[in-house]
Amino acid sequence: METKNTTTKLKCCILLTIFTIFHTSNSHSFDYADALTKSLLYFESQRSGHLPYNQRVTWRDHSGLTDGLEQGVDLVGGYYDAGDHVKFGLPMAFTITTLSWGVIEYRDQIERAGELEHALEAIKWGTDYFIKAHTSPNVLWAEVGDGDTDHYCWQRPEDMTTSRQAYKIDENNPGSDLAGETAAAMAAASIVFRKTNPHYAHLLLHHAQQLFEFGDKHRGKYDASISVVKNYYSSVSGFMDELLWGALWLYKATDNEEYLKYVISHAHCFGGTGWAITEFSWDVKYAGLQILVSQLLMDAKHKEHTQILKQYQSKAEYYICSCLNKNNGTNNVDRTPAGLLHIRQWNNMQYVSTAAFLLTIYSDFLRGSNQKLECHGGSVDHEEMLNFAKSQVDYILGANPMNMSYLVGYGPKYPSKVHHRGASIVSYRENKGFIGCTQGYDNWYSKEEQNPNVLVGALVGGPDCHDNFRDQRDNYMQTEACTYNTAPLVGIFAKFSEMEDQKERSKTLVASY
C-alpha cells in the first residue's frame, strides 16, 4: 500500500513539475496560432505584380504590371515595403532572409500550425522577384519607383501614376550591401526549398553565389550609386556586415569551406568581431551575423576556428545582455515604463520584433548546448531569456498600457487608421473608378474614419518611449507598418503557439489525476 501511495505521489510531483514549467505568471493569454496566420496574410497585402488565383487578401488587385518596361527588363512582382509603392531592394531582401531564417529554425512548428505552405509562398514571392532583378552576374535591379514622387501621391497601387523608373547596381555602380543581402536572402531561401523544390533551391543558390562574388569583387555602398534611395534606405552601416552575412548564409547553404574561411579571415577587418551592436535591422546585420556564427560552435568540425567563433559569440552576447538590461551602465537598450525595448522614435517595433527573434534563437542555442549566458549583471539561463522574448511578443499582442494589439487585425483592439495607401482607400475590387494623386489626399488621407480595408498581420511602428500611441493616419512614425517588422515574428509565433499547446496538454494531464 505504501509503495502504491509513493508511486502516486511521485506521479503527482512529476505532473506538477511539468505544469510549473509551462505555467507563466502573465495573466494575459494569447492565441499565437491566430497571430501566425494573420502575420502571413500581411505579405499578401504587400504584393506587387499579377496576383495569383489563391490570393486571400481580396481587397487587393494587380498592380505595377509595367515595372521595368522602360528599361527593357521584367521587374513585375516583389513587395512594396510599407505604406507606399516603391520597391526597395535592401529592405525587401532582409525581409526574405528573416522569413527564411524563421522557417529554417521553426519549420516543424510552422508546419504543425498548418501555415508552412503560406510561409513558403511568402518567401517565394520575394525570391521570384530577385531572380528577375538579377539579370546578369554583375547586374542587380535595386529599386523600382521613386520615393520623392511617390510620397506626393496618395493612391491605391492599382491606380499608380507615379514614376516607375528602375535603378540598378553594376560593375561601375557597385552596391555590395544590396548584393550581399540579396545573396543572403537567396541562400537562406535555398535551404528552405531544398527538400520540397530542389530545382528551385539550386537556382536560388546559383544566383546567390553570383551575387556574392559580384558584391565582393566590386565593393561600394549602394546608396552612393543610387542617390534616390538616400532619404529612405540609406546604408549607414556600410557593406561589410552584408558581405559577412551573405558569406555565412552561403556556407550554411553549401557547406563550402571557402565561405566559412571568408567569415573567419574577414572577422576583424570587416567588424564581425569588433562591432558590439544593440540593434538588428534591415541596415545593421552584425547582431544576427554574430548569433548565427555562434551556432557553429555546437559542431565539432569547426573546432579549429573556435577562437574566432568565440570572438563573434562575445559580441552576440553583448547584444543579448543589452536587451536583457544586464550590460554595464549605459550599454543597455532603453525600455518604456511598461518594459518594451525602445531603440528609436520612428518605427520602433522593427527593433522589438528582431530582438525577440534573436533572443528566442539564442535561448534555443543555450538550451541545446546546456549553457548559461554570463552578463555583467549576472548569469541568465535559456528560460529567462525566452520569457523576456515572450514578454516583448505579448506586449505587441496587447499586454501593454494601451491594451492595444500592434499587430493589425489581431485581438479586439488594434490600429484602425494605419498609414497605408491601399488600406486607407476604398478597395479597387469594389470601386474601379480611378483615384488620382491629390484626390487620394483630399478624399481619403484626411478622413477621420477608420480604414476601409484592414491590413491584417501588419506590425505598426508602435508606441513612443512612454507607451503612448496615437492611432492617426498622419502619425506615420507610429502607424506605418513594414514587411521587415512582421517577418521576424512568423517563426516565433509558431514556437510560442506550440509551447501554449504543450502547456494546455500538461494542464489536461494534471486535471486527469
CA distance 447 to 172: 47
Q: From residue 383, how far is each of 23, 214, 367, 396, 492 by CA, in Å?
A: 12, 42, 8, 20, 15
Model confidence over 480-500: pLDDT tens digits? 999 999 999 999 999 999 998
- DSSP class of 451: P
Reported for 402-405, long-range contacts at CB under 8 A and 24+ positions apart, including other chains, are: 402/463, 402/467, 402/468, 402/469, 404/469
The model's confidence at residue 502, banded by pLDDT at 50, 70 and 90, is confident
Q: Grid coordinates standing for 115?
A: 501555415
For residue 112, the cross-strand partners are none
Grouping H, G, I as helix, E, B as strand and the rest as coil, residue 17 is helix
For residue 342, the cross-strand partners are 334
Is the distance from CB of 106 to CB of 510 less than 8 angstroms?
no
DSSP string, 159-173: G--S---EEEE-SSS
Catalytic residue IDs:
84, 419, 471, 480
Model confidence over 277-305: pLDDT tens digits? 999 999 999 999 999 999 999 998 999 99
pLDDT at 503: 79
CA distance 439 to 469: 28
Phi, psi values for residue 414, rounded to 5°: -155, 165
CA distance 183 to 185: 5
Q: At residue 476, what is the residue type? A: Y
Residue 7 has pLDDT above 60, yes or no: no
Bridge-based pairing state of the strands 166-169 and 373-375:
unpaired
Is the distance from CB of 423 to CB of 45 less than 8 angstroms?
yes
DSSP string, 124-144: HHHHHHHHHH--BTTBEEEEE
Residue 428 has pLDDT above 80, yes or no: yes
Model confidence over 89-143: pLDDT tens digits? 999 999 999 999 999 999 999 999 999 999 999 999 999 999 999 999 999 999 9
Is the distance from CB of 176 to CB of 219 less than 8 angstroms?
yes
pLDDT at 151: 86
Bridge-based pairing state of the strands 140-144 and 87-88:
antiparallel
Between 216 and 27, the more confident residue is 216
CA distance 58 to 439: 23
For residue 47, the cross-strand partners are 79
Phi, psi values for residue 187, rounded to 5°: -70, -45
What pTM does this model have? 0.93
Residue 3 has pLDDT above 90, yes or no: no
Is the distance from CB of 90 to CB of 153 less than 8 angstroms?
no
Residue 5 has pLDDT above 80, yes or no: no
The model's confidence at residue 415, banded by pLDDT at 50, 70 and 90, is very high
The model's confidence at residue 149, banded by pLDDT at 50, 70 and 90, is confident
- DSSP class of 334: E
CA distance 451 to 419: 9
Mean pLDDT over the full length of the chain:
93
Percentage of residues in the chain with pLDDT exceeding 70? 93
Contacts of 126 (CB under 8 A, 6+ apart): 78, 79, 92, 93, 95, 96, 99, 185, 189
